[in-house]
Amino acid sequence: MKKVLKIIFVIICFLVIARIAYVNIAYPSADIKIIDEDEMFDLKNFSLRLKEYDIYSKEEWKQKLENENIELEEEKYNVIYNMNLKNNSNYDYIVTYDPSNDYKVLVVDLEISNLTEEVQKININGSFSVLTSLNKQGIKVNNYYSSFLNSDDYLAEYKPKETREVKLVYITNEKNENFVLEVTKLGRNQRMTLNNKKK
Amino acid sequence: MREIMKIELKRAFINTKFYIVVLVSTIFAIGAFFTTPGFKIAKNWFLYMNGDLDAAYIIEKCDYSDVAIEIWMPNYGASSKFYFLWLIILPLLCIIPYGITYIEDKSSGLINQYIIKIGKGKYYVSKFITLFISGGTIAILPLFINLIICSMALPFGLPVRSTQFYPVKEYNLFSNLYYQNIVVYLMLYFLIYFVVYGLITCLALAFVYFEENKYMLLLVPFIIYFSEHVIISFGFNQYDTSLLLATNIINLRYENFLFYLLQIIVLFLFDLLFFFRIRRDVI
């Protein structure tokens, strides 16, 4: 009886190991590919290349906006930081950074190409994340500043094989060391850590 | 010491009660897998890999590779009935195979033979260590079995915070490790469970100071464990910091870590009462 139980146990162990091996080989990869700054992100229908990026302090950003005649978001609109929402209903819209505190601005210049023969739309917030740390939620694109930095509608549909250059602005109050760009797609997880210097 | 440890470990791990506890733990681990939303995810992937069109539509719409750790039972916390029920009765399961052997040794007179052969100190230390190991092993068993089952359903990979599928936030203990080195995180997770439930099981030895009825001793760790949860949750309003809930460190916040650590230290000191009691043992 003991021998039979032992044989059953060994067979179960073997089947379990075989199944785990199969799942890890056959299923779409869940690995995260670490890519360099000069490599391209592969989004299946789109490719995404980081052309350059800039990181500004709050003061540098204000200076840049002044030079380009762009009004500060918090001066033009009555914006509210999402953490200060409680008991406050008097605002135009919600932002994910606190304009009254110190913040950092990341401007990424991306070359986005539609790789297909069809018209495609890209959901930039859904496909591509900018993180300040791997255990923190991604930062959303700041649409106010991004719309000033792009000549046309950067969210518009892409014609077949069209390539467009898009500048995206991300603002955070985090005092992080490195920004991380991340793509999480089925079988195509990719991560790029910026070294916080101009490319 | 090595000889007595070998004998005691055999007594703890090779007995019918231990096999029954393993079986019950396995039922909890399997039950937790099949009753959480994780099962739907696993089933959908299974269908997708077998060419099901509806499953393919959902997977391609979600456009993300799910990983085993995403559907692991501690992720669902109290919302998983099997997991939560297992968590509540865990001290009982831990103590059943070996917890009352000290009292049994005493009442049968076996303790005298042991002590004459190897000495008092070695006997008591081996008793304490074996119960600690036995309790800790039983505690991590279903977690491990459930992880194996999840790994049979989905590939192993790093969790990705930006997907929002994982319960660990930046304010949770070892959150950096969770998203950067899940294997080390899991080892740490198992170790914490092992230590905490090992210490909780050893309460049965400490309580021979107050109670010598073996059936009462079986209940002691459970009563203290559950009372502690009720007192801390409702008395101190620290719902997530009792040993029952916070040992699932997925929920433990950095701000509550010291309080949690304090509970473990108190537990350890209480366990040491056993070594004071034995001075009074009349052989």
Pick from B60, B153, B158: CB nearest A23: B153
The confidence score (pLDDT) of residue B273 equals 84
Mean model confidence pLDDT for chain B: 90
For residue A182, the chain B residues in CB contact (below 8 A) are 160, 162
**CA distances (Å), origin B116, targets B4, B109, B279, B283:** 13, 12, 16, 10
| Predicted pLDDT of residue B79 | 87
Does the pLDDT of residue B16 top 80, yes or no? yes
The shortest C-alpha distance from B189 to chain A (Å) reads 17
Instruction: Answer for the pair B152, A23: CB distance below 8 angstroms, yes or no.
Output: yes
Query: What ipTM was predicted for this assembly?
Result: 0.86
The answer to whether the CB atoms of A137 and B148 lie below 8 A apart is: no
DSSP for chain A? -HHHHHHHHHHHHHHHHHHHHHHHHHSPP--EEE--TTSEEE-SSEEEEEEEEEEEEHHHHHHHHHHTT---HHHHS-EEEGGG-TT----SEEESS-TTS--EEEEEEEEEEE-SSS-B---HHHHEEEESSTTSPPBPB-HHHHHHH-SS-TTSPBPTT-EEEEEEEEEE----S--EEEE--TT-EEEEE--SS--
Residue % of chain A over a pLDDT of 90? 38
Chain B residues near residue A28 by CB distance under 8 angstroms: 65
Mean pLDDT, rounded, for A110-138: 86
User: What pLDDT sits at residue B117?
Assistant: 86
Whole-prediction pTM value? 0.89
Is A133 in Cβ contact with B176 (below 8 Å)? Answer: yes
pLDDT at A9: 92
Number of Cβ within 10 Å of residue A101's Cβ equals 9
Nearest CA in chain A to B163: A184
Give pLDDT, residue B219: 92
Name which residue leads in pLDDT, B171 or A87: B171
* Helix, strand or coil, per DSSP, at residue B172: strand
Identify all chain B residues contacting A135, using CB atoms and an 8 Å cutoff: 161, 168-170, 175-176, 178-179
> At residue B7, does pLDDT exceed 60?
yes
Q: How far is A65 from chain B (nearest CA, A)?
A: 30
Highest mean pLDDT among A119-123, B14-18, B236-240: B14-18
The H or E element containing residue B120 is helix B120-153
Q: Report the distance separating Cα B67 and Cα A20, nearest Å.
A: 12
pLDDT of B278 above 70: no
Question: What's chain A's average pLDDT?
Answer: 87
Q: Which of A96, A135, A175 to mutate to test the interface with B (most CBs of B within 10 A)?
A: A135
Q: What percent of chain A has pLDDT over 70?
A: 96
- Ranking A160-174, B13-27, B190-204 by mean pLDDT, the lowest is A160-174
Confidence of residue B280 (pLDDT cuts 50, 70, 90): low
Tell whether B160 is within 8 A of chain A (Cβ): yes
Q: Is B138 strand, coil or helix?
A: helix
Quote the CA–CA distance of A18 and B262 in Å, as a whole number: 43
- In this predicted structure, the answer to whether residue A92 has a pLDDT above a threshold of 70 is yes
At residue B279 the predicted structure's pLDDT band, cuts being 50, 70 and 90, is: low
User: What size, in residues, is chain B?
Assistant: 283
Check whether B225 has a pLDDT greater than 90.
yes
Give CA–CA dist B181/A112, Å, rounded.
31
Residue B192: CA count within 13 A, CB half-sphere: 22
- The band of A79, judged by pLDDT with boundaries at 50, 70 and 90, is confident
The reported pLDDT for the residue numbered A177 is 66
Q: Dump pLDDT digits (tens) for B227-238.
A: 999 999 888 888
For residues A181 and A129, the answer to whether their CB atoms sit within 8 Å is yes
Does the structure show a pLDDT above 70 at B81? yes
Using the predicted structure, report yes or no on whether residue B155 has a pLDDT greater than 90: yes
Do the bridges between strand A104-114 and strand A163-172 make them parallel or antiparallel, or are there none, so unpaired? antiparallel
pLDDT computed for residue B210 by the predictor = 80
Per this entry, what is the length of chain A?
Answer: 199
Nearest-Å Rg of the Cα atoms of chain B is 21
Judged by CB atoms closer than 8 Å, whether chains meet at B154 and A182 is answered as no
Tell me the pLDDT tens digit for each residue of A51-73.
999 999 999 999 999 998 889 99
Q: Is A156 exposed, middle or buried (0-12, 13-18, 19+ CB in 10 A)?
A: exposed
pLDDT of residue A43: 86
Q: What's the pLDDT tens digit per position in B85-121?
A: 999 999 999 999 998 888 888 888 888 888 888 888 8
DSSP letter, residue B210: T
pLDDT over 90 percentage in chain B:
63
Q: Comparing A85 with B53, which gets the higher pLDDT?
A: B53
> How many other β-carbons are positioned within 10 Å of the β-carbon of residue A84?
12
User: Are B162 and A182 inside 8 Å of each other by CB?
Assistant: yes
Cβ-based contacts of B170 with chain A (< 8 Å):
133, 135-136
Report chain A's C-alpha Rg in angstroms: 23
B164 touches chain A (CB under 8 A): yes
Asked if the C-beta of B66 comes within 8 angstroms of chain A's C-beta atoms, the answer is: yes
CB contact under 8 A, B148 and A16: yes
Interface test with A, best of B16, B162, B175 (most A CBs within 10 A): B162
